[in-house]
């Protein structure tokens, strides 16, 4: 008698997916993934990682090929979720006018529902991870870091509901852990490892190679729509992994810019600044900060701890409760966003898709919005279409954006390339002071290298850059000085050579 062959948790048979404009996102992929395994997916922006998981979860229908989950062919989203497939999207996918608690209620829709049990479970998971999320605040009022944590928690609860009725869940996390600090990532890692012991199949998409290597049982590398290699984490050859992802080795430490000759004049002074969040809570308390002209200044900050409100206040999106903001010797505290932009401040948002792009506009329009002075005449009444197109193509080349048709909607691009469009538009203007909020989260290693290369070009031109990020290692590698934001204040500022990951990490976490 023949032994029964175990059906894989996921099976793809010659699956293809092409988007409008001829972009081949998934190119004839055949794949089998066993249950009870944590898989890491890595690859450059636009490789097709999100698309292939959207096909597995039924969000997209393949142009060709077949997809099976636990032996059942998946034809649409409803069939996928009925088989226990749960995905956390690359970008927040929550109704802005609902609260997290109300989103939990939607997991078990009834005319009369009791959400308290789910709410208590959510609080338990949130506390275990070690973060703060207000379950009763509206989604639109919460920082992106809190939203990402809640989406992970909601997905874990839904998976548990499937498990209780005999399903073996398939959990897909698409860049979902990007906003978690190191300590919380370690906690989540242990939670995920325990879930694989229950038979969960987990797919983790991340540009953080260190995280993928640490968490995964097996790593799949995807480039140009194909799975090009698979590695067991325990026998991993890092050089081989990098070579399979890129033609060159884009290791962050190898691209450090020579940051020298900082001007001693001050670009930005913040004096005793107080700022409130949307709920009226004081999140910035008597903060003081000095940024020198021409320097790259990093601020280590855990997402959701007031850094977004601070940046919004500097940029003119949020009023100051008290204190002063001095830009190149001029008091700009009470100026609005337009007035501050005229003074030379540029801003890169942490939510680059939602805040930075117009989804229905073309790639060309999204690249050139705000630079009308370069391609309009007669008091901006007339547009020189040729100059506008040339500007867009120049930015596409400089920022290595993969776009087959610049006249197509920006949403036809991959998530990573949409982010590069936003970066290109903002960084292409060469503002005197660029404020970047978590700029490399969601970027692949090549995108990260590109960002810091452009920061280096700014420095060579004498321009100033202020970077807020939870990635302490990046800040130490690329910044001249690093300040630490904790409990609404700057609690220390160090030259890069004086700092260490352990020292800054302990301070930003509130341990030291």
pLDDT, position 284: 95
In what helix (H) or strand (E) does residue 354 lie, and over which residues does it extend? helix 352-356
pLDDT, position 22: 66
Beta bridge mates, 13 = 66
Q: What is the pLDDT of residues 211-223, one digit of tens each?
A: 888 899 999 988 8
Report the alpha-carbon distance of residue 325 to residue 268 in Å, rounded.
Answer: 7
Domains 10-248 and 264-344+436-443+466-512 belong to one CATH topology: yes
pLDDT, position 11: 95
Beta bridge mates, 306 = none
Please report, for the chain, the start and end positions of each structural domain, with discontinuous segments joined by +: 10-248, 264-344+436-443+466-512, 348-430
Other Cβ atoms within 10 Å of 234 Cβ, number: 8
pLDDT, position 384: 84
pLDDT, position 5: 53
Domain 264-344+436-443+466-512 in this protein, CATH class = alpha beta
Classify the C-alpha dihedral 90-346-420-254 as positive or negative: negative
Protein fold of 10-248: Rossmann fold (3.40.50)
Q: How far is CA 408 from the centre of its chain?
A: 24
The token pair that represents 326 in the structure block? 């001095």
pLDDT, position 255: 39
pLDDT, position 247: 42
Beta bridge mates, 32 = 11
In what helix (H) or strand (E) does residue 331 lie, and over which residues does it extend? strand 330-331
| Among the listed residues 288, 271, 274, the one whose alpha carbon sits nearest the alpha carbon of residue 325 | 271
pLDDT, position 262: 55
pLDDT, position 320: 96
In what helix (H) or strand (E) does residue 269 lie, and over which residues does it extend? strand 266-276
State the number of CA atoms in the 13 A half-sphere of 441 facing the CB.
30
Q: What is the pLDDT of residues 363-383, one digit of tens each?
A: 999 999 888 878 877 776 788
Sheet strand arrangement including 201-205: 85-88, 170-174, 201-205, 38-42, 218-223, 226-232
Residues of the chain with pLDDT under 50: 1-4, 111, 247-257, 259
Pairing relationship of beta strands 382-383 and 376-377 according to DSSP bridges: antiparallel
The token pair that represents 78 in the structure block? 């409803």
Dihedral through CA 200, CA 205, CA 209, CA 215, nearest 10? -10
pLDDT, position 356: 82
Question: pTM of the prediction?
Answer: 0.62
Report the alpha-carbon distance of residue 22 to residue 24 in Å, rounded.
Answer: 6
């Amino acid at each position: 008698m023949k032994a029964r062959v175990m059906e894989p948790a996921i099976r793809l048979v010659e699956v293809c997916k092409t988007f409008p404009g001829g972009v081949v996102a998934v190119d004839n992929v055949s794949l089998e993934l066993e249950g009870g395994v944590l898989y890491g997916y890595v690859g450059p922006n636009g490789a097709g990682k999100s698309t292939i998981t959207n096909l597995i979860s039924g969000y997209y229908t393949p142009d060709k090929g077949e997809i099976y989950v636990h032996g059942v062919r998946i034809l649409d989203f409803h069939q996928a979720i009925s088989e226990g497939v749960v995905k956390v999207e690359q970008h927040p996918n929550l109704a802005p006018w609902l609260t997290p608690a109300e989103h939990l209620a939607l997991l078990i829709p009834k005319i009369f529902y009791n959400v308290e049990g789910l709410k208590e479970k959510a609080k338990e998971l949130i506390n275990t991870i070690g973060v703060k999320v207000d379950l009763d605040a509206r989604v639109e009022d919460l920082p992106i870091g809190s939203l990402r944590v809640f989406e992970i928690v909601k997905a874990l609860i839904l998976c548990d509901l499937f498990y209780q009725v005999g399903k073996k869940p398939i959990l897909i996390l698409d860049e979902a852990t990007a906003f978690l600090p190191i300590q919380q990532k370690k906690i989540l890692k242990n939670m995920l490892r325990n879930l694989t012991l229950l038979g969960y199949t987990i797919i983790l998409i991340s540009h953080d190679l260190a995280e993928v290597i640490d968490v995964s049982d097996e790593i799949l590398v995807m480039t140009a729509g194909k799975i090009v290699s698979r590695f067991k984490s325990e026998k991993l050859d890092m050089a081989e992994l990098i070579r399979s992802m890129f033609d060159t080795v884009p290791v962050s430490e190898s691209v450090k810019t020579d940051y020298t000759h900082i001007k001693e004049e001050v670009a930005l002074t913040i004096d005793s600044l107080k700022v409130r969040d949307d709920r009226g809570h004081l999140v910035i308390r008597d903060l003081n900060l000095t940024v020198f002209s021409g320097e790259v200044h990093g601020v280590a900050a855990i997402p959701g701890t007031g850094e977004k409100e601070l940046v919004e206040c500097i940029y003119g999106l949020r009023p100051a409760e008290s204190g002063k903001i001095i830009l190149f010797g001029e008091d700009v505290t009470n100026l609005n966003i337009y007035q501050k932009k005229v003074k030379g401040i540029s801003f890169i948002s942490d939510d680059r898709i939602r805040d930075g792009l117009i989804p229905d506009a073309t790639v060309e329009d999204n690249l050139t919005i705000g630079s009308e002075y370069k391609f309009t005449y007669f008091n901006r009444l007339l547009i020189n279409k040729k100059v506008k197109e040339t500007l867009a193509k120049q930015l596409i080349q400089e920022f290595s954006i993969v776009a087959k048709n610049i006249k197509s909607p920006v949403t036809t691009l991959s998530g990573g390339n949409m982010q590069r469009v936003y970066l290109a538009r903002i960084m292409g203007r060469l503002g005197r002071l660029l404020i970047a909020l978590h700029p490399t989260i969601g970027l692949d290693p090549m995108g990260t290298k590109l960002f810091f290369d452009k920061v280096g070009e700014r420095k060579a031109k004498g321009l100033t850059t202020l970077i807020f990020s939870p990635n302490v290692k990046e800040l130490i590698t690329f910044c001249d000085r690093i300040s630490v934001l904790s409990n609404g204040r700057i609690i220390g500022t160090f030259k890069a050579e004086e700092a260490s990951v352990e020292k800054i990490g302990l301070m930003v976490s509130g341990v030291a």
